[in-house]
A and B are shown apart, each in its own frame.
Chain A
Amino acid sequence: MSEQSAHRDDKGEQSAHRALGLTDHEFDLICEKMGREPNGVELAMFSLLWSEHCAYKHSRKLLRNLPTEGPRVVMGPGENAGAVDIGNGYSVAFKVESHNHPSAVEPFQGAATGVGGILRDVIALGARPIAILDSLRFGEPDTERTHYLVDGVVRGIGHYGNCMGIPTVGGEIYFEPPYEQNPLVNAMCVGLARTDEMVRAAAAGAGNKVVLFGSLTGRDGIGGASVLASAELDEGDDAKRPTVQIGDPFEESKLLECCQELLAEELLVSLQDLGAAGLTSSAGEMASAGNTGIDIDVGLVPLREADMEPFEIMVSESQERMLAVVEPSKVEAVLALCTKWQTASAVIGEVTDSGTFRILKHGETVGEIRVDDLVDGCPLYDLDPEEPAGWTYPNRVMIEDEATPSDITLSLLSSPSIASKRWAFEQYDSIVGSRSVHRAGAADAAVLNIPESGRAIAISIDGNGRRVACDPFQGTIEATLECAANLAVVGAEPLGVTNCLNFGNPEKPGVAWQLGRSVEGLAEACRALDAPVVGGNVSLYNETPQGPIYPTPVVGMVGELPDPDKIAGENWREGDAVALLGPFDPSLAGSELEKQRGELGKGLPSREIGPVKAAIELVRDAVRSGAVRTATDVSDGGISTALAELSISSSIGFEGELSALIARRDCSEDDALFGEGPGGFIIAGDAAVLEKLGGQGVDFELIGEVGGNELILEAGNSRVEILVEEAAAAFDSLEDRIESDQAGLTH
């Protein structure tokens, strides 16, 4: 295949580049840069590295506006993961990544390999992964397809993390119709490393050897590029071309230990994981970052199937593989350690000073591309944004007109997006590693003990796509603020942010507008919070003939706290006073209730970040001082839902009223009870202690008292009155809705 050209005038391969996703313009550009037409191997490599996924061609310009610097930043965007300093010589590395499409095709393996992939990004920095979080989006859980996807994805995520011995400590799941055909599976990994032992991915030192280790290379994930295969191979051979990647956490766990030992023994110059586009992207990016050239001999790559073509070897996405640059004198020791950990390894090439990426097969050149052309040559596109005139997503009525405030509260609690996700999270090992700080019923932010630094870290992940669909700018600000609010409740202060931008087709003006406004919102919120964005991922083209998904920026935030013994939870006590704190100005726009009423529309009220930030800081300080032991932020479902959740988690009721809020905000009763928006905290405790939080420049009012077995909440003439038991039953109803027709067959 290598000898043939991929000329577009050549009849048989006329549209090879198009079938591979390259435009005619891009193909011409490649020819121009190379001074000739690429052969098949080269074309396959270009098509992948110039893909949206690898080249960020529609998003890179936007991402440049994100704040990425700060005193605690150790590694920012551009590395395999971002990292921030947590003191005492330690850093935490973290990143969130999507595996949406593979999970739509094969939910178990798709989710499992999504976790495996993000773990390797963190492992590649020399960090030991200490936590996983997941952010999932599905359609409403009332179809066989959604049940199948939820079951497979949750099992897949659990399977990988559980087998690896890395705790899955948090996450979120939303169920919304636009995700029905295009679920989102985002996974975040946090790792811990000694700052001075972290490695970068850049290849260095001409003459150094390139070592591939881990799983054998097979035909996994050769998706788009199989077009080349069918052009080359006989008809009917397609069955030999699996595209589904299979995860093997056992292999990855050996790989992790092996990498840790290789680095501890100082045997590596640099390290890189193999992810999308396999060897092509990892070797290419290593050479690009190090301003070197690189030679790879596909004849030296340990294969699972003997008869693989050079292009297949170069683009295979077989999982659980790493690439290292090693000084010649240390190669033997590296291979010996790989043997100790029962993982395959081989020297497959060499770093050169040629500036070119040469592909050889048993010493004979089969492809040759300038590293710059391959890695940085892809044109970056400007978007062509246009704000859509109205609400472009469907509306469905899910609640009766005559529902009383009590009915509404129960309906919100049992809404799949709000209901307890215990069913899912109990399938995850959340305690392995002995760092997880246990707080009964608490879910706002995960807290991990870091004795190495003498502190703890908190992690939150958030992204309500529905609100972003209403208003991409405000919605993304809110997602970021919510992460910070979740951290505040455990006394943590933001250190850094990662994000995954899940959007539809950016070539459509409406989606382009969503993407642009969302990134602006992220940038604005991160700047205001002094929380630099140290990494992330972009997943575009999330749409089906039914339309695009909700624009879904998933924000992951890592913070630090001085004392894991002083964090607020969701357990209140009989007789506690309860207060509403913060500039919360509730509105039904974009709320869960508006969704249930089928009345969603464009726009969210804009809110200033400053006062929200002040409330976040006040809560954080109060929690740190030990004054507040019960706190939560007001989120989906509004105040009635927040109070109900607190009642449920401690099995004690509440009685109170919201007249002060209604007067202050001049809002409706529904707004007060069920409205959403940023900047609201519910805190509980000793009245005298709470009152000290008033009069500090942050809106504050006592709203009631803990006690009894009912949740009673008055707002003007509206009254919610439900038994805590009833609320708990509604809140625990997700399992019954999900687990109806799945089989729970273990793979």
Chain B
Amino acid sequence: MKWGVLQFPGSCDERDALNACLIAEASLGGGGSDSGSRLVWHEETDLSGLDGIVVPGGFSYGDYLRAGAIARFSPAMTAVAEFAADGGPVLGICNGFQVLCESGLLPGALLTNERTRFICRQGDLIVGDANSPFLSELEPGQKISIPFKHQSGRFFAPPELLEEIESNNQVAFRYAPGHNPNGSLNDIAGVTNRAGNVLGLMPHPEHAVEEFAGSTDGLGLFRGPALAGAEA
């Protein structure tokens, strides 16, 4: 699989995300440095040849105004919207999740943490019952350990929308009991779009792909689309 990882002015985790993509590819017997996976500059509009997109974490445009508010207007995001509409897998991590919500590709919004502080910690997530290529290697109810780090990660949706997200099985991850760091509604840590091909989450699976990091539970998300493709 060839991944494109978006890079905005102010992105932070884009190299980490690309690294995770390459590790996942290698674990599936593909990849290598000539795999074709690459960073995508925010002004690029041509995503042809890419099989999956990551909108990475960081502080695009300094997160000024609202996290993700400015980045959503980049030319690359217009291309990502088309890519997603065609069913391509798009993963938004942290700031990337915020960008996808701001641009309407995912439902809901992310508010300042209840305790207003930035928080960085390893935490447990429970896999939701969403149907998404990113979850193909994970079982609903499975517990995984993934770090999170953010200041605006409190998932919010008005009651009707929340009800819709729940009843359509769009919840991809919930914080395990006692692990909700920010006051997210229904402990929601990640959601998908209706079709399931777009998934956003606040925790950082790309920081849980190598042994030395203490957990490799994040690898599954990056392996998911290729495995789902193989099944299809």
Q: Among the listed stretches B4-12, B98-106, B128-136, B168-176, which one makes contact with chain A, having 4 or more residues with CB under 8 Å of it?
A: B4-12
How far does the alpha carbon of A432 sit from the alpha carbon of B120 in the complex, in Å? 10
Q: Do residues A163 and B10 form an inter-chain contact, with CB atoms below 8 A?
A: yes
Q: Do residues B117 and A248 form an inter-chain contact, with CB atoms below 8 A?
A: no
Q: Do residues A430 and B120 form an inter-chain contact, with CB atoms below 8 A?
A: yes
Q: Do residues B116 and A250 form an inter-chain contact, with CB atoms below 8 A?
A: no
Q: Which of B11, B206, B215 contacts A434 (CB 8 A)?
A: B206
B73 lies within 8 A of chain A by Cβ? no
Q: Do residues A426 and B16 form an inter-chain contact, with CB atoms below 8 A?
A: no
Q: Among the listed stretches A436-444, A486-494, A717-725, which one makes contact with chain B, having 4 or more residues with CB under 8 Å of it?
A: A436-444
Instruction: Tell whether A429 pairs with B59 under 8 Å between CB atoms, given A164-B12, A165-B13, A434-B16.
Output: no
Residues of A within 8 A of B59 (CB): 162-163, 165, 249-250, 253
How far does the alpha carbon of A44 sit from the alpha carbon of B19 in the complex, in Å? 50
Of chain A, the residue at the smallest CB distance from B43 is: A340
Q: Which of B10, B112, B117, B149 contacts A431 (CB 8 A)?
A: B149
Instruction: Tell whether A428 pairs with B120 under 8 Å between CB atoms, given A250-B9, A341-B9, A342-B9.
Output: yes
Residues of B within 8 A of A431 (CB): 120, 147, 149, 204, 207, 213
Q: Which of B10, B19, B151, B212 contacts A250 (CB 8 A)?
A: B10
Binary per-residue interface labels of chain B (117-128) against chain A in the complex, 1 for a CB within 8 Å, 0 otherwise = 111111000000
Q: Which of B16, B147, B212 contacts A565 (CB 8 A)?
A: B212
Q: Do residues B62 and A427 form an inter-chain contact, with CB atoms below 8 A?
A: no
How far does the alpha carbon of A506 sit from the alpha carbon of B204 in the complex, in Å? 49
Q: Do residues A436 and B213 form an inter-chain contact, with CB atoms below 8 A?
A: yes
How far does the alpha carbon of A449 sit from the alpha carbon of B116 in the complex, in Å? 31
A695 lies within 8 A of chain B by Cβ? no
B63 lies within 8 A of chain A by Cβ? yes
Q: Do residues A564 and B212 form an inter-chain contact, with CB atoms below 8 A?
A: yes
How far does the alpha carbon of A164 sit from the alpha carbon of B210 in the complex, in Å? 23
B211 lies within 8 A of chain A by Cβ? yes
Q: Do residues A429 and B149 form an inter-chain contact, with CB atoms below 8 A?
A: yes
Residues of A within 8 A of B119 (CB): 426-427
Instruction: Tell whether A165 pairs with B58 under 8 Å between CB atoms, given A254-B9, A434-B213.
Output: yes
Q: State the Cβ distance, B138 to closest chain A Cβ, in Å.
A: 21
How far does the alpha carbon of A746 sit from the alpha carbon of B57 in the complex, in Å? 20
How far does the alpha carbon of A426 sit from the alpha carbon of B121 in the complex, in Å? 6
Q: State the Cβ distance, A451 to closest chain B Cβ, in Å.
A: 10
Residues of A in contact (CB 8 Å), total: 36
Residues of B within 8 A of A439 (CB): 214
Residues of B within 8 A of A155 (CB): 117-118
Binary per-residue interface labels of chain A (159-177) against chain B in the complex, 1 for a CB within 8 Å, 0 otherwise = 1001111000000000000
Residues of B within 8 A of A163 (CB): 10, 12, 59, 62-63
Q: Which of B12, B62, B151, B214 contacts A432 (CB 8 A)?
A: B12
Q: State the Cβ distance, A390 to closest chain B Cβ, in Å.
A: 43
Residues of A within 8 A of B11 (CB): 165
How far does the alpha carbon of A685 sit from the alpha carbon of B150 in the complex, in Å? 37
A745 lies within 8 A of chain B by Cβ? yes
A71 lies within 8 A of chain B by Cβ? no
A433 lies within 8 A of chain B by Cβ? yes
Q: Which of A162, A427, A434 contacts B207 (CB 8 A)?
A: A434
Residues of A within 8 A of B16 (CB): 432-434
How far does the alpha carbon of A745 sit from the alpha carbon of B115 in the complex, in Å? 10
How far does the alpha carbon of A159 sit from the alpha carbon of B151 in the complex, in Å? 10
Q: State the Cβ distance, B169 to closest chain A Cβ, in Å.
A: 31
Q: State the Cβ distance, A626 to closest chain B Cβ, in Å.
A: 15
A545 lies within 8 A of chain B by Cβ? no
How far does the alpha carbon of A342 sit from the alpha carbon of B119 in the complex, in Å? 29
Residues of B within 8 A of A162 (CB): 59, 118, 149, 151
A744 lies within 8 A of chain B by Cβ? yes
Residues of B within 8 A of A638 (CB): none
Residues of B within 8 A of A427 (CB): 117-120
Residues of B within 8 A of A165 (CB): 11-13, 58-59
Per the 8 Å Cβ criterion, residues 389-439 of A in contact with B are 426-434, 436-439
B83 lies within 8 A of chain A by Cβ? no
Interface of B is mostly: mixed
Q: State the Cβ distance, B57 to closest chain A Cβ, in Å.
A: 8
Of chain A, the residue at the smallest CB distance from B14 is: A165
Residues of B within 8 A of A745 (CB): 116
Residues of A within 8 A of B63 (CB): 163, 250
How far does the alpha carbon of A545 sit from the alpha carbon of B64 in the complex, in Å? 40
A158 lies within 8 A of chain B by Cβ? yes
B156 lies within 8 A of chain A by Cβ? no
A-B contact count (CB 8 A): 95
The residue among A155, A254, A341, A429 with the most chain B CB atoms within 10 A of its own CB is: A429
Residues of A within 8 A of B149 (CB): 162, 429, 431-432
How far does the alpha carbon of A162 sit from the alpha carbon of B67 in the complex, in Å? 14
Binary per-residue interface labels of chain B (47-88) against chain A in the complex, 1 for a CB within 8 Å, 0 otherwise = 000000000011101111000000000000000000000000
Residues of A within 8 A of B64 (CB): 250
Q: State the Cβ distance, B38 to closest chain A Cβ, in Å.
A: 16
Of chain B, the residue at the smallest CB distance from A258 is: B9
Binary per-residue interface labels of chain A (434-465) against chain B in the complex, 1 for a CB within 8 Å, 0 otherwise = 10111110000000010000000000000000
How far does the alpha carbon of A432 sit from the alpha carbon of B10 in the complex, in Å? 13
Q: State the Cβ distance, A658 to closest chain B Cβ, in Å.
A: 34
Q: State the Cβ distance, A319 to closest chain B Cβ, in Å.
A: 14
Instruction: Tell whether A449 pairs with B62 under 8 Å between CB atoms, given A434-B16, A744-B116.
Output: no
Binary per-residue interface labels of chain B (138-171) against chain A in the complex, 1 for a CB within 8 Å, 0 otherwise = 0000000001010100000000000000000000
How far does the alpha carbon of A745 sit from the alpha carbon of B58 in the complex, in Å? 21
Residues of B within 8 A of A440 (CB): 214
How far does the alpha carbon of A341 sit from the alpha carbon of B117 in the complex, in Å? 29
Q: Do residues A437 and B212 form an inter-chain contact, with CB atoms below 8 A?
A: yes
Per the 8 Å Cβ criterion, residues 181-225 of B in contact with A are 204, 206-207, 210-215
Q: Do residues B214 and A438 form an inter-chain contact, with CB atoms below 8 A?
A: yes
How far does the alpha carbon of A249 sit from the alpha carbon of B60 in the complex, in Å? 11
How far does the alpha carbon of A371 sit from the alpha carbon of B182 in the complex, in Å? 55
How far does the alpha carbon of A449 sit from the alpha carbon of B19 in the complex, in Å? 14
Of chain A, the residue at the smallest CB distance from B58 is: A165
Q: State the Cβ distance, A546 to closest chain B Cβ, in Å.
A: 31
Residues of B within 8 A of A159 (CB): 118
Residues of B within 8 A of A428 (CB): 118, 120
Q: State the Cβ distance, B17 to closest chain A Cβ, in Å.
A: 9
Q: State the Cβ distance, B181 to closest chain A Cβ, in Å.
A: 9
Per the 8 Å Cβ criterion, residues 31-56 of A in contact with B are none
How far does the alpha carbon of A431 sit from the alpha carbon of B212 in the complex, in Å? 11
How far does the alpha carbon of A746 sit from the alpha carbon of B19 in the complex, in Å? 32
Residues of A within 8 A of B62 (CB): 163, 248-251
Q: State the Cβ distance, A177 to closest chain B Cβ, in Å.
A: 27
How far does the alpha carbon of A477 sit from the alpha carbon of B117 in the complex, in Å? 37
Q: State the Cβ distance, B39 to closest chain A Cβ, in Å.
A: 11
Q: State the Cβ distance, B72 to closest chain A Cβ, in Å.
A: 16
Q: Do residues A565 and B118 form an inter-chain contact, with CB atoms below 8 A?
A: no
Residues of B within 8 A of A449 (CB): 212
Residues of B within 8 A of A746 (CB): 112, 116, 151
Q: Do residues B9 and A432 form an inter-chain contact, with CB atoms below 8 A?
A: no
Q: State the Cβ distance, A734 to closest chain B Cβ, in Å.
A: 14
Of chain A, the residue at the smallest CB distance from B181 is: A426
Of chain B, the residue at the smallest CB distance from A422 is: B121
Q: Do residues B116 and A254 form an inter-chain contact, with CB atoms below 8 A?
A: no
Residues of B within 8 A of A434 (CB): 15-16, 19, 206-207, 210, 213
Q: State the Cβ distance, A561 to closest chain B Cβ, in Å.
A: 12
Q: Do residues A438 and B10 form an inter-chain contact, with CB atoms below 8 A?
A: no
Q: 6 A-B pairs, CB-CB below 8 angstroms?
A: A162-B59, A249-B62, A430-B120, A432-B12, A438-B215, A744-B116
4 nearest A-B pairs in the assembled complex, by CB-CB distance: A165-B12, A250-B62, A438-B214, A744-B116
Given contacts A164-B12, A254-B10, 17 further A-B contacts (CB under 8 A): A155-B118, A158-B118, A163-B63, A165-B12, A250-B63, A253-B9, A254-B9, A426-B120, A428-B118, A429-B118, A434-B16, A436-B213, A438-B122, A439-B214, A449-B212, A744-B115, A744-B116
Which B positions have Cβ atoms within 8 angstroms of A? Answer: 9-13, 15-16, 19, 57-59, 61-64, 112, 115-122, 147, 149, 151, 204, 206-207, 210-215
